Amino acid sequence: MTVKERTKPQVATMNAVHDLPVLVARDKGFFKDEGLDLEFVTTPGMAQVTTSHFVKFDSVFDRPLDSVYNEGGIDQYRMCEWGIMKRAVEANTQGLRGRKIVALGASMSKFAIVVAPGSKYYEPEMLKNQPIAVTPNNGSDFTTLKMMEGFLAQEHIKRTHAGSMLKRLEAVRDGKVAAASVMEPWISVAQKWGLRILIESHSTRSEAAGDDLDGATLKKMFSAQARAVELIEKDPTPFVHYFIRETGGLLKPEEFQTWRLLHAAPQPYTHERWEDTYNWTVKWNMTVPGATYQNTVDNRAWQ
């Protein structure tokens, strides 16, 4: 495929839980301080209260962010670690625009599995054979498997889709699904609604980029993110508004649980992490076998 001509790197922003260091670095001028002139492209995310985006358990490459990337509309993006891995591996096998894992990302905020206040489920193992609402092949899906595999055999962990984070919580509240996996700010919304949290876990992001985005530029981008991380970790309160906006007024700033936020500077994606994560992903049939660290990971920002 031919990537359209551009004059500046185009960076995707989606959900605040993935992109908070990018949003802060953009709005504080940290990218400009690094001498970067970037274009930020907003793509639909399942955390947005207004989203009409509905995904199924089929090709991830039909989804808005992936379609925009494949058409050359963005050069760099981040999402859950396993989702990036799946896309980097399978783009090669499907002849799509190539992308590499270029860093372990900065955002490591939590996901949680929630049930209704009066639910008969009180611990994770009680969800045996009960579908948990997730975004297929995205962070809530992968993190749900990670959280549940310590309690149930693989064949007894079931997932389904019920739409956006808001739609999932509504489905739980209304008794349409047994449980749902959500991230912030929707964990805070779930608590406000009185839903019960069964289990939660941090979920790391990865950074992906096309081969045409050079290491020096990536290094500057990650440096700007690292600077933003220092601010967020010192006091996340000034940045809560990015999350509140995603709820469309369902949450007040003081109701957001900032303690769930966790960030660190982007860092190289190690060979050991690749082996552990890729093999786990293949075990769950979440991506295809046969990929290698050498053809999927490129830590050029540190070279």
At residue 82, does pLDDT exceed 90?
no
Predicted local confidence at residue 67, as pLDDT? 78
- Minimum mean pLDDT among 3-12, 164-173, 215-224, 237-246: which range? 3-12
- Minimum mean pLDDT among 17-26, 38-47, 194-203: which range? 38-47
Whose CA is closest to 296, among 157, 13, 277?
277
Higher pLDDT, 162 or 26: 26
Side-chain-side CA neighbours of residue 181 (13 Å): 33
Side-chain-side CA neighbours of residue 148 (13 Å): 31
- The predicted model gives 93-120 an average pLDDT of 93
At residue 54, does pLDDT exceed 70?
no
Q: Do 164 and 79 form a contact (C-beta atoms < 8 A)?
A: no
Higher pLDDT, 63 or 34: 34
Q: What are phi and psi of 195, to 5 degrees?
A: -70, 155
pLDDT in tens, 181-192: 999 999 999 999
Locate the DSSP E strands across the chain.
10-13, 39-42, 76-80, 100-104, 110-115, 132-133, 159-160, 179-183, 196-202, 205-209
Q: Do 169 and 112 form a contact (C-beta atoms < 8 A)?
A: no
Residue 251 to residue 187: CA distance in whole angstroms = 11
pTM, rounded to two decimals: 0.90
